[in-house]
Amino acid sequence: MGSELTETRRPGLRERKKQQTRETIERVALELFAERGYEETTLAEIAEAADISPRTIFGYFQSKEDILFCEESGQIEKVEEALEHRPPGTTTVDALREFISSMPSPDEQALLRKRVVAANPDLQLKLRAHIGALEGALADSFAKDLDAGPDDIRPGLIAASMTAALAAVRDRLEAAAGHDEVMEILDEVLEFVRGGLEATRAR
């Protein structure tokens, strides 16, 4: 009986409609960004294409940038959770590989987002900044691997290098490269980091 009480509740009609509206805003915005250009597209045009009022958009997103990069915050949170709750004996490198290997292939919207960002140098910098938000969590995780103190600069340096590597691997994922090819590149990067960690720990 207890299992029945703890059964996952199915979202109600209102919640489902809100999710549908959010998905519609994201979809039409990406289509407009790709067709007209990110800078040239206005929130009013997105609202019209989504058949909602401009004010409604702000109930879901704060800006055009928030719409474009709406997936980033969720992904960062998932990586941070994977690092924080990694099993005993699992290194940061192992946890990262497990997480990235479980990522699904990019869907149509992910590829469209890639096109929009690739066409705008400012957006490329902003994407790097979003990915850079992971650096603090990586530094904390590497500090545990090295049993490093708060004044040790090594975890931060390794985290900065790892963040740059993840950004490069993400580019390959979103470019729809084959999964095996991406994992081969990732393994080379992670083995390099793993070797550096082991050498640092040995010293």
We report the CATH number of the domain holding residue 20 as 1.10.10.60
95 in the same domain as 48? no
Helices (H), 85-153: 92-101, 108-118, 121-132, 135-146
Contacts of 112 (CB under 8 A, 6+ apart): 30, 31, 33, 34
**Strand (E) positions, the chain?**
none
150 in the same domain as 102? yes
φ/ψ bin of 37: left (φ > 0), alpha (ψ from -120 to 50), beta (otherwise): left
Burial of 33 (0-12, 13-18, 19+ CB in 10 A): buried
d(CA 161, CA 96): 14
> Using CA atoms in the order 151, 157, 162, 167, what is the torsion angle rounded to 10 degrees?
110
74 in the same domain as 63? no
d(CA 62, CA 57): 8
The per-residue pLDDT for 76 is 84
The per-residue pLDDT for 189 is 75
The per-residue pLDDT for 177 is 52
134 in the same domain as 35? no
Tokens 């909602």 -> residue: 52
Structural domain harbouring 59: 7-67
User: How far does the chain reach from its first CA to its final CA, in angstroms?
Assistant: 56
Among residues 25, 46, 67, the one where a domain terminates is 67
Mean pLDDT by 10 residues, the chain (203 residues): 51 86 95 95 96 94 93 84 90 86 78 88 87 88 89 89 76 57 74 73 64
Q: Within 13 Å, how many C-alpha atoms sit on residue 149's CB side?
A: 1
**Residue 132 contacts residue 152 (beta carbons within 8 Å):** no
